[in-house]
Amino acid sequence: MSESQSKFETLRWRDGRLEMIDQRALPAAVHYLPFDSAAAVADGIRSMVVRGAPAIGCAAAYGVALEAQRLQRKLPAEFSAGMEAGLAVLATSRPTAVNLFWALARMRSAWQTFSGSTPAQIAQMLLAEAQAIHAADIEANRRMGQHGAALLTDGARVLTHCNAGALATAGHGTALGVIRSAVEAGKKVSVFANETRPFLQGARLTAWELAQDNIPVTLIADNAAGFLMSRGEIDAVVVGADRIAANGDVANKIGTYPVAVLAQRHRIPFYVAAPLSTIDAAIANGADIPIEERGADEIRGYGAMRWAPDGVAVRNPVFDITPAELVTGLITEKGVVPAPDAGKLRKLLEKN
Ligand code: MRU
């Protein structure tokens, strides 16, 4: 299915404002929320209306464009101060996905390029820049899909963790983009989706998204993956990433690391699909990647339901680090990097 045929859009520009599908409501309800300022978009990112590294980056880019639009009638000094405040509030919305900071840096540099123009002209140019980031993300995912699809055999049963699909990007997806592209190429591929405690991105989002495209999906409890691997029921693992360190260590949704360890134990290839914007060359290894910790109530229950004693101590780190040595291949828009390491990633980034 091509993006133009996609049944939903994660983000869209409508009537001079940003609309985002409310991912907290899925799959029970499909509705869009409007956003008209950087602060509102930052709130949408923090509260998980939008999530997934590339989608967060796109949303932040639109947040900057919206702020410029909101301030376009101000005098240049007031406009600049307001823009700085908008960039700052977006930068504190979530800490781990580097695509957020990548998108903000790109928007800042576009703003600087046009700094001699009027606020109204800058606002127009920043909207065009956000739309370019949006379109480039879909294009990168399609390329990643083509490269990655070649790695999946006809009939492959693929395990994925969290949601690295169209909902986590501007469209098509990274890990799910690889699966979509394999299906488009005529391969029969079926998916095991880890439910992904505690926020249930696998159960609520991956299962919904794949069902929209009629791609066979079977939902499993996170702790069932090892059993299925031991029975020979999983042929490959494909996941996304929130930040990849210069040495190839991968930060992704909590629970990815144990899946990678299990895959190695069972000699199952473990692939990471991510655009170059997810590689953070400034961070030497995974130990230095900031890991978000979210609220205790995400562990004590879900929604209004509580199943743990009130006040029980909780840790809720929501990402973990998979060492590069467990990664069979990194699938990017520029091709597949087998067994990624510092040297290979440096070369990959130098070429681009
Ligand atoms: O907390 P989330 O839902 O934003 O976490 C998302 C993930 O961990 C995804 O796997 C990752 O961002 C890759 S999305 C293409």
One-letter amino acid identity for 305? Answer: M
Contact 167, 23 (CB under 8 A): yes
Secondary structure class of 164 (helix, strand, coil): coil
Q: Could you give the strand order of the β-sheet that contains 319-322, starting from the edge strand earlier in sequence?
A: 279-280, 243-245, 250-253, 319-322
Residue 274 sits at φ, ψ, to 5 deg, of -160, 145
Query: What is the domain partition of the chain in residue ranges?
Result: 3-141, 145-350
Residues annotated as catalytic (active site), given as ranges = 242
* Ligand 1 atom at minimal distance to the Cα of residue 253: 8
Q: Which SS3 state, helix, strand or coil, does residue 204 take?
A: helix
The helix (H) or strand (E) run that includes residue 178 is helix 175-184
Contacts with 265 (C-beta within 8 Å, 6 or more apart), sequence order: 229
Mutate to test the pocket of ligand 1, among 22, 50, 51, 243 (most ligand atoms within 8 A of CB): 51
- Please identify, by atom number, the ligand 1 atom nearest to the C-alpha of residue 201: 3
Q: Nearest residue CA, atom 8 of ligand 1?
A: 253
Q: For 167-209, how does the pLDDT look when each residue is reduced to its tens digit (9 = 90+)?
A: 999 999 999 999 999 999 999 999 999 999 999 999 999 999 9
pLDDT at 3 over 70: no
Q: Percentage of the chain surpassing pLDDT 70?
A: 98
Residue 5: band (very low, low, confident or very high) from pLDDT cuts 50, 70, 90: low
At 337, list the tokens.
């990097």
Q: What is the pLDDT of residue 4?
A: 41
What digits encode the pLDDT tens for the residues 201-257? 999 999 999 999 999 999 999 999 999 999 999 999 999 999 999 999 999 999 999
The C-alpha atoms of residue 321 and residue 257 are separated, in whole angstroms, by 6
3-141 and 145-350: same fold? Answer: no
Which residues, at least 6 apart from 149, have a Cβ–Cβ distance to it below 8 Å? Answer: 178, 181, 182, 184, 185, 187
How far is the C-alpha of 193 from the C-alpha of 201, rounded, in Å?
9
pLDDT in tens, 93-123: 999 999 999 999 999 999 999 989 999 999 9
Q: Can you name the CATH fold of 145-350?
A: Rossmann fold (3.40.50)
Rounded to an integer, the average pLDDT of 265-272 is 98
Q: If DSSP codes are grouped into helix, strand and coil, which group holds residue 312?
A: coil
Q: How far is the CA of 109 from the centre of ligand 1 (A)?
A: 26
Residues with CB under 6 A from ligand 1: 51-54, 97, 162, 164, 168-169, 174, 201, 240-242, 252-253, 318
Q: Residue 76 gets which letter from DSSP?
A: H
Mutate to test the pocket of ligand 1, among 24, 162, 176 (most ligand atoms within 8 A of CB): 162
Instruction: In whole angstroms, give the CA distance from residue 9 to residue 31.
Output: 11
**pLDDT above 90 coverage of the chain, percent:** 97
Q: Which two tokens stand for residue 39?
A: 């602060």
* Global pTM exceeds 0.85: yes
Q: Report which protein residue has its CA nearest ligand 1's atom 5.
A: 52
Alpha-carbon distances, residue 94 vs 60, 98, 299 (angstroms): 11, 9, 19
> pLDDT value at position 138?
98
Note the pLDDT tens digit of each residue in 127-183: 999 999 999 999 999 999 999 999 999 999 999 999 999 999 999 999 999 999 999
Ligand 1 centroid from CA 98, angstroms: 11
Rounded Cα–Cα distance for residues 39 and 82 (Å): 11
Q: Per-residue pLDDT for 275 more than 60?
A: yes
Q: Is beta strand 157-160 parallel, antiparallel or unpaired with respect to 236-239?
A: parallel
Cα atoms found within 13 Å of the Cα of residue 101, Cβ hemisphere only: 14
CA of 225 to the centre of ligand 1 (A): 19
Q: What distance in Å separates the CA atoms of residue 55 and residue 59, rounded to the nearest whole number?
A: 6
CA of 293 to the centre of ligand 1 (A): 14
Q: Whose C-alpha lies nearest to ligand 1, atom 6? A: 52
The CA distance from 352 to 340, in Å, is 17
**Residue 345: which of 260, 278, 269, 271 has the closest Cα?**
278
**Mean pLDDT of all residues in the chain?**
97
CA 328 / ligand 1 centre spacing (Å): 20
**Cβ–Cβ contacts within 10 Å for residue 211, how many?**
12
SS3 call for 252: strand
Q: Tell how far the Cα of 172 is from the centroid of ligand 1, in angstroms.
A: 14
Asked: is 3-141 a CATH 2.40.50.140 domain? The reply is no
**Distance in angstroms (rounded) separating the CA atoms of residues 261 and 225:** 11
Q: Best substitution site from 252, 289, 318, 320 to test ligand 1's pocket, by max atoms within 8 Å of Cβ? A: 252
Q: Is the pLDDT of residue 299 over 70?
A: yes
